[in-house]
Structure 1
Amino acid sequence: MSEILMPRLSDTMEEGVVAAWRKQVGDEVKTGDVLVEIETDKAVMEHEAYEDGVLAEILVKEGDTAPIGAPIARLVGAGEPVGGTAPAPEPTAAPEPTAEAPAAEPVAAPEAPAPTASAVVTRPDGERILSSPLARRDARDLGVDLAAVEGSGPGGRIIRADVAKAAANGAATAPAAAPSAPAAPAQPQAAPVVDETDELIPLTSIRKTIARRLTESMQSSPHFYVTKTIDAGPLSELRAQLNERLVAADRKKVSVNDIIVRAAAVVLRDHPVVNSSFTPEAIVRHGRIHVGIAVATETGLVVPVIRDADTKSLTSISAETRTLAGKARDRKLGLDEMTGGTFTVSNLGMYGIDHFTAVINPPEAAILAVGAVRSEPGVKNGELAVVQKMTMTLSSDHRVIDGAQAAEFVRDLAAVLQDPWLAIA
């Protein structure tokens, strides 16, 4: 018998949610067969079998969470006895009504792994608390002490609705564990006032990771910002000319962002300090240029990566960006498609945003925030005219990049974008 372990499917993954079992107990499994779909902090990914056998037992049900390396199923050889799915939460209690919520809802625990279906929760006096796995997970996510919650399920069992009600009433806050050693008091985060009209949405794996990584970025990386507004007329004219010819050839159009990604990659060749990462031992100046593209999805921000962007044509970058953005929204990105970035471009121009600053995506040392191409009064050829402008801001890690180095990069990028044929030549 061998165990199937929760795999590490992303560089920031600490735990995973079993989204769907593709094999069931008793099914024959061949090496390379897709066993299970795992929801990570970035995507839903397929996990393949590494050996032949028969799926003997499922230890983590769909919708449940397990830490990396924890057993989620067992495999046996042909002819050996098989078991079943994960045991019921409490054998003595009636099952929780299925109308409450689907068991496959992908909600992950914040730090410790969510209890498996057989986990037992007790009151201080040792009395057993009947509660569903999803209710226990929500209680941990929302800071609710199950010992103070009255259950409305069969036999007094606590269900998710009971946890949400307790949290909405501002009651039953779980007590903090006693510290093992004296520590300086942390500044508490102000708790919002919650009433019955509010909706409490437990954090998903991806939202927790966004919160953790961006908080770490702002706290550990001393950010500074360099902003420049450029004449975007040539950029718009080039795009219009290219798209006219591409449409005539029955090919896909390119976007302003595609040109910006290509231009940034080309300029990074001459500014390796911007294409770097900080470590406690050394500054890593990357020999290849992998540009991340910030993509907004329903579950949060994802950054797929265009590898070797400086060596690819504009139309190749455009096609790859469309493919990666689609996979990001469907949560189907592979590990190699969302790791290894050395620089990131975040563009909110499509939302009509003129200017913003972006948080650095660690371990990178810089990120470029791009606003919309906008029309405004200006001077052209010595005369008043309506001109097109675009504002971009480079956020830099001051541990790696000095002010003058950031300014030089932005200056050179502006020069290329104002003569954009240089980006595609």
Structure 2
Amino acid sequence: MAEIVRMPKLSDTMTEGVVAEWYKKVGDTVAEGDLLADIETDKATMEFESFYDGILLHIGIEKGGAAPVNDILAIIGEKGEDISALLKDAEGKEEEAAPKEEPKEEKAPQEVTKPEKAVEASQPTLTKTSESNDGGRVFASPLARKMAEDKGINLSMVNGTGENNRITKKDIENFNPANAGGSAMSQSVNTGVESYTDMPLSQMRKAIAKTLSASKFSAPHFYLKVSVNMDNMIASRKVINADDDVRISFNDMIIKATASALRKNPKVNSDWTGDAIRYNDHIHIGVAVAVDEGLLVPVIRFADTKGFAQIGSEVKVLAEKARTKKIQPDEMQGGTFAISNLGNYGIEDFTSIINPPNSCILSVGEIKAMPIVKDGEIVPGNIMKLTLACDHRAVDGAVGSAFLKDLKNLLENPVKMIV
């Protein structure tokens, strides 16, 4: 008996999906567990496997097509099986479920007439003037002026044959730049071609726009900034990476320091739920990863219990999954705090939009060599700027400041993270 395969709900916020790729075509044999298609959700593009054995009898959504969750994706059954009744019954149920719209009164289209282009005879007799190269005034009819502008001709180099040497349409039509010493085209000349490309929004980009717009315009953001001396962190990382079996990044160390600071400041490790502030006992840190379609935020779970190397290993695996569209929804859910690091792009400091329902997000800039004052003397140093964005509904300035103070202390004294 034929079975209907419906558009799956692959994330908690997914309302529709796009078929990015089909791996089977109508008439192919399908076994349970076979890869049927890639489905683009609001979070990622994911592989979708068949739950049934049989022949692929029908494809309901072609490659590139979008459809709501539970729409018919495909039908799998026995070879030669008649599925017309099944399709009719399924379509009937969808029509019943769809909201009925009141008929709208159609209005007769209004005829819009466009004015004919004005000819020179209909131009006003008023003649515009401009300055010539020698400081004199140039007289030209409006039509001649427009033609000169379109052709990129400098009116000061055109000899007018009209009354009082006024430049006319014929003067522009008969104008030869070679006879004007080659300088008649000194004004800007439009030689390029205007063009643009409209790129349809992906499901991910739609979700980013919806989520971050809601966050920015509903959560009262405020920002706290601090500069961190990274000299000790640089020295510590150099010692750790001297071991051939270990390779950690500054980002790994920042994640660990952030988790440790959150343990000391639990009010920052919170969510705004609308009717309550949820203080999380666990620390799951979301790490922003740039992908072609936008931004994904994989989550490092229980980050405060893990060392630099373990955090680094997990970040590498999750980032690679994100970039190759293999990441799963549960690997991006449950974050209690987020970090966005643009230091590798040479950004000194910036502000991020809070990733709801989190109360805060940390923005990390580049480590920049600059002169600093130490013990009353100007010496070379390495400074990194941090910006904490806070939802004022859940986190007050003093609370966020205490967190940043502890985070700065840990980053400037990394040995405290291993004692």
TM-score (norm 1): 0.70
Per-residue CA deviation, residues 208-240 of structure 1 (Å, 9 max, x unaligned), is 211111111111111111111111111111111
| Paired position in structure 2 for 1:71 | 72
Aligned partners of 1:57 and 1:82 also within 8 Å: no
Q: Do residues 81 (structure 1) and 77 (structure 2) align? A: no
| Paired position in structure 2 for 1:218 | 216
Aligned partners of 1:13 and 1:40 also within 8 Å: yes
Measure the CA separation in 2 of the matches of 1:27 and 1:307.
41
Aligned partners of 1:295 and 1:328 also within 8 Å: yes
Measure the CA separation in 1 of the matches of 2:230 and 2:207.
35
| Paired position in structure 1 for 2:254 | 260
| Paired position in structure 2 for 1:240 | 238
| Paired position in structure 2 for 1:417 | 411
| Paired position in structure 1 for 2:383 | 389
| Paired position in structure 2 for 1:26 | 27
| Paired position in structure 2 for 1:349 | 343
Structure 1 position 335, deviation (Å): 1.0
| Paired position in structure 2 for 1:271 | 265
Aligned partners of 1:22 and 1:36 also within 8 Å: yes
Report the aligned-residue RMSD. Answer: 2.2
Name whichever of 267-276 and 388-397 sits farther off.
Answer: 267-276
| Paired position in structure 2 for 1:37 | 38
Q: Secondary structure at the match of 1:269?
A: helix
Aligned partners of 2:240 and 2:246 also within 8 Å: no
Q: Secondary structure at the match of 1:376?
A: strand
Aligned partners of 1:367 and 1:395 also within 8 Å: yes
- Paired residue for 2:368, among 374, 377, 391? 374
Q: Do residues 228 (structure 1) and 229 (structure 2) align? A: no
Q: Secondary structure at the match of 2:352?
A: coil
Q: Do residues 321 (structure 1) and 315 (structure 2) align? A: yes
Q: Secondary structure at the match of 1:272?
A: coil
Measure the CA separation in 1 of the matches of 2:57 and 2:198.
38
Measure the CA separation in 1 of the matches of 2:47 and 2:374.
55
Measure the CA separation in 1 of the matches of 2:293 and 2:357.
22
Name whichever of 223-232 and 44-53 sits farther off.
Answer: 44-53
Structure 1 position 49, deviation (Å): 2.4
Structure number with larger C-alpha Rg: 2
| Paired position in structure 1 for 2:14 | 13
Per-residue CA deviation, residues 246-303 of structure 1 (Å, 9 max, x unaligned), is xxx2x35211111000111122112222111111222122222111111112211111
Gaps of 5+ in 2: 88-105, 108-192
Gaps of 5+ in 1: 88-123, 126-194
Measure the CA separation in 2 of the matches of 1:15 and 1:369.
32
1:236 partner amino acid: I
Aligned partners of 1:55 and 1:82 also within 8 Å: no
1:13-412 aligned within 5 A: 13-76=14-77, 78=78, 81=81, 196-245=194-243, 249=244, 251-412=245-406
| Paired position in structure 1 for 2:182 | none
Aligned partners of 1:26 and 1:82 also within 8 Å: no
Aligned partners of 2:359 and 2:391 also within 8 Å: yes
Measure the CA separation in 1 of the matches of 2:306 and 2:326.
23
- The number of aligned residues is 314
TM-score (norm 2): 0.71
Aligned partners of 2:43 and 2:329 also within 8 Å: no
Structure 1 position 83, deviation (Å): 6.3
Aligned partners of 1:11 and 1:339 also within 8 Å: no
